[in-house]
Structure 1
Amino acid sequence: MEFNMEEDAYKFYNKYAFKMGFSVRKDYLNKDKDYLVYFMRLSLTNDIRSRSEVTDCSKLAEDGTPELGMEFNSEEDAYQFYNKYAFKMGFSVRKDYLNKDKDGVTTSRRYSCCKEGVKRKYEGDVMPKRTRAPTKTGCGAKMVIVLFRGTMKYRVHDIVLEHNHELHIVQCAHMMPSQRKVSEAQGFQAEISEDAGLSLKQSHELMGKEAGGMGNVGYTREDLKRYLRTRRERSLKYGEAGSMLNYFQEQTLENPSFFHAVQLDCEDQITNIFWADAGMLIDYKFFGDVVTFDTTYKTNKEYRPLGVFVGFNQHRQIVIFGAALMYDETIDSFKWVFGTFLEAMCGKRPSTILTDQDHAMAVALSVVMPKTFHGLCTFHIRRTFMKHLGNHYKENSDLPYMFGACMYEFEEVEQFNRVWEAMVKKHNLENNEWLSGLYRIRDKWARCMMKERWTAGMRSTQLSESLNAAIKNHLKLDHDLVQFFRHFNRVVDEKRYNELIAEYEMRQKLPMVGLRQTPMLVHASETYSPTVFVAFQNEYGESTAMVILRQ
């Protein structure tokens, strides 16, 4: 047989493979392309065994039609043969009754059309809101096999080929239940796709592309959903808490520096969880002077608060120092989390920690880290500003601008006090409890009060909230704890890879020095990372524009 071109040969052989029920792989042998039969798990028949392992029934029936007296080496061989016939004809096979002897050996079995039987009538008092359309038609098509003791083979004892319903066309045959199966290889690929953050729809479409069409995948999206759900249930065979502890043990075996701690209540139930891997511990050693901590994100179906300790690296990128899943946001819970964090970091406390205005968090920090400066998140303050003062100003009011200036602009305390008093008097806010309380703790948020505090340029927990957004993109509320840990690690890996990109860019590109004749800038460009150098250069440029007002 000859072909005009290589592609014609491939299409011809692939068409033959489709008819026979196997898949073709293009392979290289001695620099010439040959086409080898490759029994992939993505084949239409879902037959993953080689032909040498399958009972050769073609000698008994050349057209593949079941006949009385056929023999099979095993019950599974009989099913595969009948299922292959069902695929060709357009019906789905259901495994029906079976009989076994005292040793557990199957002595007889019946395979029926899935439309065998009739739908039972509903006998309840209240009709269900939704009823499924009937699928059974009382079809009598079947194949019965019986174990023949003389040869220990299964022989076709009874066969009915006629159906009382319309059969499926070949284009829809892959949708029939008996033709759908997620193979081991496909399941492994689906698990990798899920761990990589692909949705169920994206994972299924990807496999469809690889198989040359959805009809060649061998299962539906619902089948994949059930497979992944079963896999999760298997991983939680010790219960969610036991599976979580197993996960921590696996992490510790991979890296002995992995730190984790669990708090139990009086009934030995898990309440709070803290963990930090080796990379987090190392990052804290170098960048842990300023830390933000936020618990606004609720992680899973139980709505546990997720507390993440976050900071900056040399590229002013987010680095994670540790994380905690909390039972609640009480003083005792925060005390345990902050104390465990210090334990993981060998007692090294941050110089500054930024949080929101949570009272329980403030009390816990004053007890566990009394020497650490506790700053308040300016972003959180601005967000609650509208809640407490929104009804005190009308359109074009200067209240938010005066408030923002007190928070961000003024360098001198006298200027801050003067504008603050004017704002309070102008808008009749003398008796506003929230604003008065905020003024009493102005040393935690006003710029003029924090000049002597080291904050590394951070004034809010937006780092944590930015991280929360990244976590939210990868997580769902129905995820169990083990799933949550896996997806959280993926977010951490993503942040670390961004750091590698920044490291590459720093070594690949020379810094842009604006004033090349300035020795200080040249030296700074050789010392700082590009991001920090740009910030320094801007500050340096602004300093040259200063004017002496008085001597």
Structure 2
Amino acid sequence: MSFSVRKDYLNNDKDGVTTSRRYSCCKEGVKRKYEGDVMPKRTRVPTKTGYGAKMVIVLLRGTMKYRVHDLVLEHNHELHIAQCAHMIPSQRKVSVAQGFQAEISEDAGISLKQSHELMGKEAGGMSNVGYTRDNLKRYLRTRWERSLKYGEADSMLNYFQEQTLENPSFFHAVQLDCEEQITNIFWADAGMLINYNFFGDVVTFDTTYKTNKEYRPLGVFVGFNQHRQIVIFGAALMYDETIDSFKWVFGTFLEAMCRKRPSTILTDQDHAMAAAFSLVMPQTFHGLCTFHIRRNFMKHLGNHYKESSDLPYMFGACMYEIEEVEQFNRVWEAMVKKHNLENNEWLSGLYRIRDKWARCMMKERWTAGIQSIQLSESLNAAIKNYLKLDHDLVQFFRHFNRVVDDKRHNELIVEYEMRQKLPMVGLRQTPMLVHAADTYSPTVFVAFQNEYGESTAMVILK
């Protein structure tokens, strides 16, 4: 049988030496009655049972030893069984090592429940951990409050300063409003800047993901590396999606990249974004991501899609397959007439800007194949695995770094496999394929080899 001990009053002399102290059962005492007119919304469950077991010790000056002065052994409540001894308050404490492990687990995205269960496995059972899940929750909350003791804004700036000290190439910028409140934030670490220098010819920019309960847009500049993997060039946490905000983000992006503009940038059909882009980077071709167009197709033509099974196929052919302008116009006209879409404003508007998305109209534009890849969907899925709506700014940046680290680790895996495995050349007697296998990355070589094989089946008509 067991009970929890509480430290009560303490008396010290002028030199700081403890002269007396009282220890009591944690259930000793009487709950204080509430004297206000309005009852509090949250009331604690009563645990006090009156006056019970206690022990008072005093210091004997002659021998400088402590003696028990008062002792009451009787309890006026039922004692805890031995199996619950680890749950009583005086036996619960998160050690320094356990706290450090809990912080690492939280930074790695492991939930509180999973972290506690893991420590239970390591200790040989929950009774050997030394604390409960509530203790761990309070410990992590204290850590969170400590990290935000200067407020979210100052904590974020401290985070940026730490990143800059770690690597001076880290770039960050903050936009303030007339009241000197932070509105838009942009950042890019050294790895992002290096990747843009190599692979920044074609960039996509997406603000689909909303970061927190205030639904602030997260804008991410993304591209492909030599393995056709997603690489992040920079990110912006935006206050809103207005022309002024987009102008600042695009301008700051160019500043971070030493004014080197991309050849092509692909975005969704947001009008404010398009207007800002034309002002900041007028010489860069602005295309539309087909992923967003397909999603808007379902939004604006969903009813027609249910009634007509061939509508999405005809639309998809115009977007991805048809390579000649004349054929595109014929199929488009047939699709519009067949499904009575002559008066559909969204479809008519899309046709007017067909040079930004149709394959036949973009043959002369360098898009690195990103146009037909659901790049935004892939990245947003990865972000959702790491970021939660209840994250504060510091937690957001910490977990966003996990997304970046995950992408870079995947790149290392492919780099290893590229050096470990030899490319499979289908026609080894073909010098072009042999040379391509030695020159291209495995992913690009496979695409080239497939296209080369298809070219041998072509028939020249004229």
- Do they superpose with TM above 0.5? yes
The SS at the match of 1:121 is coil
Structure 1 residues 153 and 329, CA gap change in structure 2 (3 angstroms): farther
- For residues 457-509 of structure 1, give each alpha carbon's deviation from its aligned partner in whole angstroms, at most 9, with x where no partner exists: 11157323322221221222221111111111121111111111101100100
Deviation at 1:127, TM superposition (A): 7.5
Q: Distance in 1 between matches of 2:305 and 2:391?
A: 44
Contact 2:207 2:218 in 1 (8 A): yes
> In structure 2, how many angstroms separate the alpha carbons of the residues matched to 1:151 and 1:301?
64
Q: 1:365-394 CA deviation, whole Å, 9 max, x = no partner?
A: 101111111111111111111221222354
Q: 95-104 or 276-285, which moves further after superposition?
A: 95-104
Q: Which residue of 2 aligns with 1:428?
A: 340
Q: How big is each residue's C-alpha offset from its partner over 1:426-469, in whole Å with a ceiling of 9 and x where there is no partner?
A: 22211111111111111111111110000001115732332222
Match of 2:364 among 452, 456, 469: 452
Q: C-alpha distance in 2, partners of 1:151/1:365?
A: 84
Shift of 1:300: 2.5
1:153: how far off? 5.1
Shift of 1:115: 1.1
Matched residues, number: 462
Give the whole-Å Cα distance in 1 for the aligned partners of 2:444 and 2:211.
Answer: 33
CA distance in 1, matches of 2:404, 2:305: 43
Q: 1:352 matched to which residue of 2?
A: 264
Tell me, what secondary structure is at the counterpart of 2:370? coil
Kindly tell me: are residues 163 and 374 of structure 1, through their superposed partners in 2, closer, same or farther at Cα, counting changes over 3 Å? same
In the alignment, is the contact (CA less than 8 A) between 2:291 and 2:376 conserved in 1?
Answer: no
- Structure 1 residue 181 displacement after superposition: 0.5
TM-score, normalising length: structure 1: 0.80
Q: Is the 8 A contact 1:274 1:323 kept in 2?
A: yes
* Deviation, structure 1 residue 301: 3.4
Q: How far does the alpha carbon of each residue in 1:394-417 deviate from its partner, in whole angstroms, 9 at most, with x for none?
A: 444322221111111110111111
Aligned-residue offset at 1:146: 3.2
CA distance in 1 between counterparts of 2:34 and 2:10 reads: 28
Q: Is the 8 A contact 2:320 2:372 kept in 1?
A: no
Decide whether aligned partners of structure 1 residues 208 and 531 sit closer, same or farther in structure 2, where only a CA change above 3 A counts: same
Deviations 1:117-139 (A, max 9, x none): 24456677787888665432225
Highest Rg: 1 or 2? 1
User: CA offsets per residue over residues 39-71 of structure 1, 9 Å max, x none?
Assistant: xxxxxxxxxxxxxxxxxxxxxxxxxxxxxxxxx
Shift in Å, 1:196: 1.8
CA contact (8 A) 1:265 1:271 kept: yes
- Partners in 2 of 1:254 and 1:304 — Cα distance? 28
* Superposition deviation, residue 156 in structure 1: 2.9
Change in CA separation of 1:379 and 1:494 when aligned onto 2, cut-off 3 Å: same
Q: CA deviation at 1:312?
A: 0.6
Name the stretch that deviates more: 102-111 or 365-374. Answer: 102-111
- Which whole-Å deviations, capped at 9, do the CAs of 1:67-125 have from their partners, x for residues lacking one? xxxxxxxxxxxxxxxxxxxxxx5111122233455676654332221111244566777
State the Cα deviation string for residues 493-532 of structure 1 (Å, max 9, x = none): 1111111110110010000111111111111001001001
Contact 1:393 1:427 in 2 (8 A): no
Q: Is the 8 A contact 1:292 1:461 kept in 2?
A: no
Provide the rounded CA distance (Å) in 1 between the counterparts of 2:425 and 2:402. 37
2:298–2:305 contact (8 Å) kept in structure 1: no
Deviations 1:261-298 (A, max 9, x none): 11111111111111111111101000111111111111
- State how far apart, in whole Å, the 2-side matches of 1:460 and 1:226 are: 48
Q: Secondary structure at the match of 2:204?
A: strand
What do you get for the CA RMSD once the two structures are aligned?
2.0
Gaps of 5+ in 1: 1-88
Change (3 A) 1:153 1:319: farther
For 1:165, the equivalent position in structure 2 comes to 77
Deviating more after overlay: 120-129 vs 156-165: 120-129
Cα distance in 1, alignment partners of residues 260 and 217 from structure 2: 25
Structure 2, unaligned stretches of length 5 or more? Answer: none
- Paired residues of 2:6 and 2:24 also in contact (CA < 8 A): yes
8 Å Cα contact 1:290-1:456 kept in structure 2: yes
Q: Aligned partners of 1:275 and 1:152: how far apart in 2?
A: 62
Task: Report deviation, 1:360.
Answer: 0.7
- Bigger drift between 95-104 and 247-256 goes to 95-104
| Aligned equivalents of 1:213, 1:234: Cα separation in 2 | 31
Equivalent-residue separation in structure 1 for 2:460 and 2:163 (angstroms): 60
**Structure 1 position 545 matched with structure 2 position 462:** no
Distance in 1, matches of 2:373 and 2:334, equals 29
Distance 1:245 1:127 in 2: 41
Q: Is the 8 A contact 2:437 2:445 kept in 1?
A: yes
Deviating more after overlay: 424-433 vs 511-520: 424-433
CA 1:478/1:461 → structure 2, altered by over 3 Å: closer, same or farther?
farther
Give 3-state SS (helix, strand or coil) of 1:328's partner. coil
Task: Decide which moves more: 355-364 or 130-139.
Answer: 130-139
Q: CA deviation at 1:194?
A: 1.3
